[in-house]
Chains A and B, each alone.
Chain A
Amino acid sequence: MTDAALEAELMEIMRDVLDVDDLNYDENLTADDVEEWDSLSHVRLIVAVEKHFGVRFSTQEIEAMRRLGDLRRAITTKKAGAA
């Protein structure tokens, strides 16, 4: 999967989970930038990402994610590991 395709799928999940339409991929996006992205919706987001991409993150990995770019890289790493 190309980076662009992965980012597009990730953003579709984010729009679905956060119920926000105008959200585009930005490496440096953090929860502080999006009102709907709080600690509660973050759990839903992680679970939705895990389900969609068929990966599983550890508690430490989730805690280490600060920016959207961290999440995207974590997905890529996990998927590469799973393949």
Chain B
Amino acid sequence: MISYDVAALPWLPKAPDDHREQVRAFGPGVAAAALRDAATARLDINGLTRLAKALDRVGEAVEGDALSPVDAALLADCTTDYLAPALVATAPRHGVRLRLTVGDYGQMEQALLDPGSAVARARPEVALISLDAASLGLDAPLMDAAAAAEAVARAVARLEALAAAARERLGAVPILQTVAPPAEPWSGSLDARFAGAPAAMIQALNARMGGIAEAHGGLLLDVAGLAARVGVARWRDHGQRHAAKLPFALDLTPLWADHVCRLIGAMRGKARKCLVLDLDNTLWGGVVGDDGVEGIALGQGSARGEAHLAVQRYALSLRARGIVLAVCSKNEDDAARAPFRRHPDMLLREEHVAVFVANWTDKATNLQAIARTLNIGVDALAFLDDNPAERARVRQMLPEVATPELPDDPAWYPAALAHAGYFETVALSAEDAGRADAYQANAARAVALESLGSIDAYHRSLEMRCDIRPFDRVGRARIAQLINKTNQFNVTTIRRTEAEVAEIEVDPEMFHRQIRLVDRFGDNGMIAVVIFRKGVAEWVCDTWLMSCRVLSRRVEEAALRAVAEAARAEGATRLVGRYRPTAKNRMVADLFGVLGFAKVAETEAGETEWALALADYVAPELPMEVVGPGDDAERAA
């Protein structure tokens, strides 16, 4: 069991069920953005092959400027029949439309030197040169150190000549690949220090590869590093090599292609510039608005706290090489900033964050504002958020933002971000080190917000099922927990023990409901609690609270509908709402107003009272299925 299997490109979202049909429908006139979106999915070699076929069919007839065309040549000493389509289909993921010419097998020198070759006539801007240890003469051991040095020198000379020809004859940027080490030992551990061992010769060549690339204005693709990351034993598939001359295991082709394309993308300035970070359960464990600065999990001492600390450390390591950091969180601004100011274990400080957005506006809108503030494109953003619903929403509204899928365990968040390669770079300079500061100095703090897209379509796409039922024994402990923990969405903040909750269960004067929400991303569990005191004509709100995780899902409207319908059925004519301000519950100060109540009283302390005439109440159409205990039997059946 591999904890984070890089070969499956797990940072990409799964391809939708109708991906095949979508791709098949592509024809001339297709939007470049649609091609990019189709490529931004976890595609295996078969998915890539299909997409490449569609791209071939579309040819030059692509609308819009979401993709930059790049003419490229692939020169390899192996079967390229799988590599070429994989490259073409992966390129749109990195903002590139690749027009690829493939050199004939074993004709590398001719392709580069003969002006009449198909490769030369295509006038490529990039030439990927792929040679394995065998064609470089480094696969057989040599007993003599001088002979080994000479073998390495010959390999270097050949690569020098190829890179020079690509550069000078074709005017193309050569991309050289380091060579993957052998999967099996020859002499054993001595391979690492015996100059004539294939492993040692390959290592000696790889050590010089960067210099060759640099000398010829080329780029380096670290295949040896890639093979090490997935495991060399997995990288090399002897059966496939013998049967089909594959340079590495077929199912690793998508990973290799992604690394080639991110390099070409970076060369074209398509790499991301800014990492936008969510806060709760991303930069720290827990919800600062509810748990407080003291209650969040962060820092040494707990695995969870260390995992989130590692996320911060990784973000800072990106900032050190010029990646701008921003924050986008659903929070009160001061609650969101409190850990940055007061938590002793925070590595990230406000001075590291170029744009800090904490509010209750949807994240897609906030991401656009962040890009505007930094004066960069939305397609220069990568967005890290633990919440799958938020990620789906952002992907739907802003597919050009790189939003990685994340494993459940935050310990793997930095790995996901690192392997996704959003911040690929072809060079680093002293200027890069200062770039994040420069952006920050220029960033205006004012963030313009505007509504965006259809929130309704989003809600419907979530396939929500809202379960509303009276308190019962099963829910009791969680009800008490919510009553005692919820700080933000809580109109009265009345705390109760579990025993008191049990009393309410059997109190005929009390109307009580526990609310759960399931959506297509999973079960959110119990997320809201409502208690009203029943009068003859008037039902008065005692408790109304909800987890912020499901904010802006219209759950509160479903709750109100349940209360209003029950009150009506029992002959009441009016609902009364109460809001008691605390340091943390400002976000619901106007909850009743938003739900259609009229304010009837306000005290000096800011307590407000609201009324809703049930005769005037019209139940809204809700984008969710609302169920109750009556539906249990049906679902069990």
Contacts and interface: CB of A to CB of B under 8 A. Distances in A.
Contacts of B239: 58-59
A38 B45 CA distance: 16
A70 to B, nearest CB: 16
Interface in B221-247: 239-240, 242-244, 246
Contacts of A43: 82, 240, 243-244, 246, 250
A62 to B, nearest CB: 7
B334 interface: no
Contacts of A62: 243
B20 A51 contact: no
A19 interface: yes
B54 to A, nearest CB: 10
B590 interface: no
Contacts of A59: 239, 242-243
B82 A44 contact: yes
Main secondary structure of the interface of B (DSSP, over half): helix
Given A19-B53, A59-B242, A40 B81 contact: yes
B244 A48 contact: no
A16 B240 CA distance: 21
Query: Which secondary structure characterizes the binding site on chain A?
Result: helix
B50 interface: yes
Interface string A7-36: 000000000110100000000000000000
A53 B245 CA distance: 24
A6 interface: no
A16 B243 contact: no
Given A16-B20, A19-B20, A19-B53, A44 B243 contact: no
Given A16-B20, A59-B242, A44 B50 contact: no
B251 A51 contact: yes
A47 interface: yes
Contacts of B53: 19
Nearest to B244: A43
A44 B242 contact: no
A44 B45 contact: yes
27 contacts: A16-B20, A16-B46, A17-B46, A19-B20, A19-B46, A19-B49, A19-B50, A19-B53, A40-B81, A40-B82, A41-B49, A43-B82, A43-B240, A43-B244, A43-B246, A44-B45, A44-B46, A44-B49, A44-B82, A44-B250, A47-B240, A47-B250, A48-B44, A48-B46, A58-B239, A59-B239, A62-B243
Interface of B: 20, 24, 44-46, 49-50, 53, 81-82, 239-240, 242-244, 246, 250-251
Interface of A: 16-17, 19, 40-41, 43-44, 47-48, 51, 58-59, 62
